[in-house]
Homo-oligomer: A and B are copies of this chain.
Amino acid sequence: MVAFPKVILASGSPRRKQLLQQADIEFDVIVPNTAELVPPHTPLHQVPAIIALEKATAVNAQVQNNEVIILAADTVVLLKNQLIGKPASTQEAVAILQQLQGSTHTVVTGVAILYKGKTHQFSESTEVTMCPLTDAQIDYYVQTYQPFDKAGAYAIQEWIGAVAIEKINGCYYNVMGLPIQKVYEYFQQIILAETT
């Protein structure tokens, strides 16, 4: 099995930490401080990979060590060609979930990996089908789980993921914020390419 060099996760997300741990990958965390700006007219599905690269680049400038792997990610929800980010209020969270219930949306996570002066960037999409929810159910979820730090105003690993996600098509962990299987595959390929 391929041994990984030191990994730095450029994200404060507890879910991303949990997924690296599940993959038995050792890592340190440095939370980047970025403006999360994208050029105007960027195609929506490219937005998360661009923001991920910003995050990785910011942490790289701080670390200045080409021997470590820097990993960053950004997750958005796309519904009917609209980008849905994190809700700013209870009202916004409720409005987002009213839009998502009873239909299928796409979760896109963009990933940036920096190693030995090279940049690797990709996106992973997962389709998520939510069953119809009543307003009482949406209120219960928002009041109880306060999903204000979640793109699309929900977390699949919480109550709403159990009772309302009918099916997904693609990587489940991508919906949690990191397509860990693809990340692991990239790590293996990048390291093998450097050592052979």
Contacts and interface: CB of A to CB of B under 8 A. Distances in A.
Interface stretch (A29-37, A55-63, A69-77, A180-188): A180-188
Nearest to A187: B163
A169 interface: yes
Number of copies: 2
A181 B162 contact: yes
Given A134-B1, A168-B172, A172-B168, A163 B184 contact: yes
Contacts of A24: 159
Contact of A180 (B136, B163, B171, B185): B163
Interface string A147-185: 000000000111101111111111111000000110011
A170 B167 contact: yes
Given A165-B171, A181-B131, A159 B1 contact: no
Contacts of A42: none
Interchain residue pairs A-B with the least CB separation, the first 6: A23-B162, A22-B162, A172-B172, A163-B184, A162-B180, A167-B170
A4 to B, nearest CB: 12
Contacts of A156: 172
A53 to B, nearest CB: 23
A188 to B, nearest CB: 9
